[in-house]
Structures are given as structure tokens and as C-alpha cells.
């Protein structure tokens, strides 16, 4: 049987164009959509053959070197064949503690292949990737982009059999792909049911200026790494002059959650997507933005169908598009860009570069995104949790939010807890909770060390007293 890469090489120019035409048409052959075009082209061919890169470059009117440079930057884009089945084991400290390295070796031995190399028949390759956001239910892996959790020797053996039999992923046992939220403690963000659009209507009732005042009153700080005051960021983008025409402001949701040991955004996107999109829309109304972009990390590609369906439902219900929630003149829509495997794109300027179809290389600052961000226009970049908190502030008010937590750090915070604990998962606490309380609640036992922040941050508490 002819391997896929042989079929691709033997395609004539007309056949190649027929395969790529729907992809190029979907993105209107815009150079700024290059990452998305390459991702979908790879889905068609299994990898990115040279002839495809040449055709894409010609269709977009850009140098071929640029196309190949972008393709070579992202770890989930492949310039060489990687097989019909691409298996990537999550490689972080928690998965290693659970035996991921031994399981990967077991798979390689059973499939008679070396890590990082394609099998002789071109069927499969096995390698590692960075954190897949499944630290609460590892060992985990990705199979052709689909997350598989709670791996064991038995499951690995069965997966090897399924691969040898060339069984479609749709016919694999469904429990392999089960991803649980594992919410262990709920507070104001995760507790209770909310109706989509409530926060938007509350913001519209206040007015954009009053909504900004509520954000200032709340003292909400970004739930990423820097803890920058959200209201200042929004006000700066609102007041910034649009340097390009037509004048458009943007709201970007940073869902490139790449820190090892972090998975809170996964839970919010999976089970609270309406709150995320409400928060983006509230931000857009407050700063006068017409477009929103959600940058979804490549490891969460399995969430894309549900998120896209949610956006379509919101459009039908008048929560996106023209005259959002019935407010004439407030036109706003959201599109999703899927990342392609680059940890650095969690940094906001690298993320913007990727959104523009480039390599995810951080920009020199200033200028900052609030004055010259996406396409050179004023842009607010907030992460998933920050936007959810902003939606709550729209509904409940800034004073209510400021009454939670501490004076300097208001509100609640989602903690991703994993490692040597009895109950890994998501814990929501008001700011000010002690490390001891988190350890007790998660069943950490006689903890010897606690790593705070993501694994890449390397910020640690040393040995803790028994009653720290």
C-alpha cells in the first residue's frame, strides 16, 4: 500500500490546488491567516510537503521562505511525514511522577520504533510534548491532537493494538478520551448557574463609562502572571488613538495556557465558555472594540468544535454580530485562532505575532498592545480567568468584588492543584488563603515541598514546617 507521503509527492499541480482551494478560500488567502492555513493544510496531507508550501506562498503572495519559516517555528506543524498516528506523551513533572516515561518506552517497544522517528511503514510516530493541561488526570497523551487521559500499561497495550489494526480514532474506547473538570472547591466564579448574556445586558444597562468605573472599583488584577490592573489596561486601549484605518479596537482572549501544572483555563473553556465570551463582550463594549479573537492553544484543539458551536449559538441568539443584545451600534463578533504548539505564545506580544500569521517571537516594548497591538491597533489582551471575573463584575458590581479576597488582591483565584495529592483538580478560593489550607483540602498529607506557579516559573517554597 502506498504511504501518504508518496501520494502527496505524486499529486500534480491541479490536484494539489483542488485540495488546498477550500482552505485558502475559507481564509480569503489572507497572509495574516497563515498559521490557520498551514494547520488545515496539514490536516489534509498529514504533514506540510514542499509542494504545498510553494502553492500556499504563491496563493498568498508572500515569499516562500516566510511560509516555511512559520511552518518550521511551531512544534505541531511538520515539514516531514509523522505518520497516520502521531502520539505525543505529556512531558512534565506530574506526568513523570505518574510513570509517563515508562509508558512511552512500553509503547515504543511494542510498536518497534524509536522515539521521535516514524515507523518503517509510515504508520505511526511517538514523541513527547510539553504540558497538555491534563496534570490532574495523567499520565496523558495526544493522539492526532485528541487528548487521552489516565494512561496505564493496559491502555497502552490496547492502543498499540488499535494502531496496528489502523482503527479510526472514532472507534477507540470513548473512556480513553474522557476529560473531567475535577472541580474540588467552588466559590463565586464556579458556583451557581448563569444565563448567557446576563453580564452583557448588565454592562449595557450601566453604560460603557460606568462599566469602566466599576472595573476600577473592583481592583481586578490580571489572572495571568503579571497581575496588572485590568481597568488600567482597558482604559488605555479605550483612550488610545487608532493609528490605522479603518479604526478598529480588538479584544484578545489569551487561552494559550502552557505553564506545566496549569489547567484552570481548560475547565473554564470546557464548562463555562459562555462566561468567557460574555467577559470578552463586556470588555469590547467598555473599550469600543468591534472584533474579538480567542487564541486557543494547540493542545486544546479538542475543545474547538464545542467552542465554535457555542459562538454560532450566541450569534443566533443575538449575543454576537450586529446590535449585540439589541443595542444599536454595538457590533461585535469573536473568532477562534488555534495555536500550533509554541510555549512562548503565552506572552501577549508573541501571541499577537502568531495571530497575524507570523512566528511567535515577542515584540520589543514599547509600544504596548493597548496602543499598538493586533494589526497595529489598540488591543486588550486578557486571559480566560480574567475575562470571567470581569463578567462577574458586570453583573454584581465593583464594590461587591472588592469585598472579596484582600485589599490588594481582590476577588477569588482558581488554583490548579496536582502532584502528590489525593484530590488533584481545581480549587477556587478568595485571595488570602494559606498554603496550609490548600494542602489540607487537596489531601497533600505530610508535604515536603510546594511549587507555586507553573513549572516553568521555578518559584518554590522550600521544606514546609508541619503547620506552616
Mean pLDDT, range 439-461, rounded to an integer: 72
Residues of the chain with CATH 3.40.30.10: 85-177
Task: Delimit the CATH 3.40.50.11540 region(s) of the chain.
Answer: 183-402
pLDDT single digits (tens) 397-413:
999 999 999 999 999 99
For the segment 178-189, the average pLDDT, to the nearest whole number, is: 97
- Give the pLDDT of residue 460: 29
**How far, in Å, CA of 414 to CA of 184, rounded?**
11
Peptide bond into 367 cis (omega under 30): yes
**Mean pLDDT, to the nearest integer, of 57-61?**
97
Q: Are 181 and 426 in contact (CB under 8 A)?
A: yes
Instruction: Provide the whole-model pTM.
Output: 0.93
Per-residue pLDDT for 356 more than 60?
yes
pLDDT level of residue 247 (50, 70, 90 thresholds): confident
Q: What integer pLDDT is reported at residue 1 of this predicted model?
A: 37
What class does CATH assign to 85-177? alpha beta
Instruction: Give pLDDT, residue 10.
Output: 60
* pLDDT-derived band at 378, boundaries 50, 70, 90: very high
Rounded CA separation 137/134 (Å): 5
pLDDT tier for residue 5 given thresholds of 50, 70 and 90: very low
Looking at every residue in the chain, the average pLDDT score rounds to: 92
In the chain, % of residues over pLDDT 70: 94
> What percent of the chain lies above the pLDDT cut of 90?
85
CB-CB contact of 438 with 429 (8 Å): yes
Quote the pLDDT of residue 282: 98
Using pLDDT thresholds of 50, 70 and 90, give the confidence band for residue 11: low
pLDDT at 259: 86
Residue 21 CA to residue 444 CA, distance in Å, equals 54
Q: Is the pLDDT of residue 314 over 60?
A: yes
Q: What is the pLDDT of residue 455?
A: 60
| CATH architecture of residue range(s) 183-402 | 3-Layer(aba) Sandwich (3.40)
**What pLDDT score does 224 carry?**
82
Cα(419)–Cα(137) distance, integer angstroms: 10
The position carrying cell 463555562 is 272
pLDDT of residue 245: 79
Average pLDDT (290-298) is: 97
Contact by Cβ (8 Å): 270, 181: yes
Residue 451: what pLDDT? 84
Q: pLDDT (tens digit, 9 = 90+) per residue, 12-32?
A: 677 888 999 999 999 999 999
Least confident of 47-51, 246-250, 319-323, 325-329: 246-250
3-class secondary structure, 119: coil
Report the C-alpha gap between 253 and 223 in whole angstroms: 12
Amino acid at each position: 500500500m502506498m504511504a501518504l507521503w508518496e501520494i502527496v509527492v505524486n499529486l500534480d499541480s491541479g490536484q494539489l490546488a483542488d485540495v488546498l482551494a477550500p482552505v485558502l478560500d475559507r481564509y480569503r488567502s489572507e497572509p495574516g491567516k497563515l498559521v490557520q492555513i498551514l494547520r488545515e493544510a496539514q490536516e489534509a496531507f498529514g504533514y506540510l510537503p514542499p509542494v504545498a508550501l510553494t502553492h500556499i506562498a504563491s496563493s498568498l503572495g508572500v515569499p516562500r521562505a516566510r511560509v516555511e519559516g512559520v511552518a518550521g517555528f511551531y512544534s505541531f506543524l511538520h515539514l516531514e511525514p509523522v505518520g497516520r498516528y502521531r502520539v505525543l506523551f505529556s512531558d512534565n513533572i506530574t506526568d513523570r511522577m505518574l510513570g509517563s516515561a515508562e509508558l512511552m518506552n512500553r509503547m515504543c517497544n511494542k510498536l518497534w520504533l524509536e522515539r521521535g522517528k516514524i515507523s518503517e511503514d509510515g504508520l505511526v510516530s511517538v514523541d513527547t510534548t510539553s504540558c497538555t493541561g491534563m496534570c490532574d488526570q495523567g499520565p496523558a497523551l495526544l493522539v492526532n491532537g485528541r487528548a487521552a487521559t489516565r494512561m496505564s500499561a493496559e491502555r497502552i497495550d490496547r492502543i498499540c493494538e488499535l494502531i496496528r489494526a489502523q482503527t479510526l480514532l472514532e472507534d477507540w474506547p470513548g473512556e480513553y478520551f474522557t476529560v473531567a473538570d475535577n472541580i474540588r472547591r467552588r466559590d463565586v466564579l464556579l458556583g451557581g448557574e448563569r444565563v448567557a448574556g446576563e453580564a452583557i445586558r448588565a454592562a449595557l444597562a450601566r453604560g460603557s463609562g460606568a462599566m469602566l468605573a466599576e472595573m476600577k472599583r473592583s481592583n481586578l488584577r490580571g489572572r495571568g502572571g503579571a497581575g496588572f490592573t485590568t481597568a488600567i489596561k482597558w482604559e488605555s486601549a479605550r483612550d488610545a488613538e487608532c493609528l490605522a484605518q479603518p479604526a478598529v479596537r480588538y479584544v484578545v482572549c489569551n487561552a494559550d495556557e502552557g505553564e506545566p501544572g496549569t489547567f484552570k483555563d481548560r475547565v473554564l473553556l470546557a464548562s463555562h465558555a459562555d462566561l468567557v465570551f460574555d467577559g470578552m463582550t463586556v470588555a469590547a463594549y467598555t473599550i469600543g472594540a468591534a472584533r474579538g479573537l480567542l487564541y486557543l492553544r494547540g493542545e486544546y484543539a479538542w475543545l474547538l468544535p464545542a467552542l465554535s458551536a457555542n459562538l454560532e449559538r450566541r450569534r443566533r441568539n443575538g449575543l454576537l454580530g450586529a446590535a449585540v443584545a439589541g443595542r444599536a451600534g454595538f457590533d461585535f463578533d469573536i473568532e477562534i485562532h488555534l495555536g500550533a504548539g509554541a510555549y512562548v505564545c503565552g506572552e501577549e506580544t508573541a501571541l499577537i505575532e502568531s495571530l497575524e500569521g507570523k512566528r511567535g517571537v515577542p515584540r520589543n516594548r514599547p509600544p504596548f498592545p493597548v496602543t499598538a497591538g493586533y494589526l497595529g491597533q489598540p488591543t486588550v489582551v486578557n486571559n480566560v480567568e480574567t475575562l470571567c471575573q470581569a463578567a462577574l463584575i458586570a453583573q454584581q458590581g465593583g464594590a461587591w468584588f472588592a469585598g472579596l479576597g484582600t485589599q490588594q488582591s481582590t476577588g477569588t483565584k482558581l488554583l490548579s492543584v496536582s502532584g502528590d495529592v489525593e484530590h488533584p483538580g481545581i480549587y477556587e478560593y478568595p485571595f488570602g488563603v494559606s498554603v496550609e489550607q490548600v494542602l489540607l483540602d487537596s489531601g497533600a498529607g505530610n508535604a515536603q515541598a510546594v511549587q507555586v506557579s507553573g513549572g516553568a516559573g521555578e518559584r518554590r517554597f522550600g521544606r514546609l514546617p508541619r503547620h506552616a
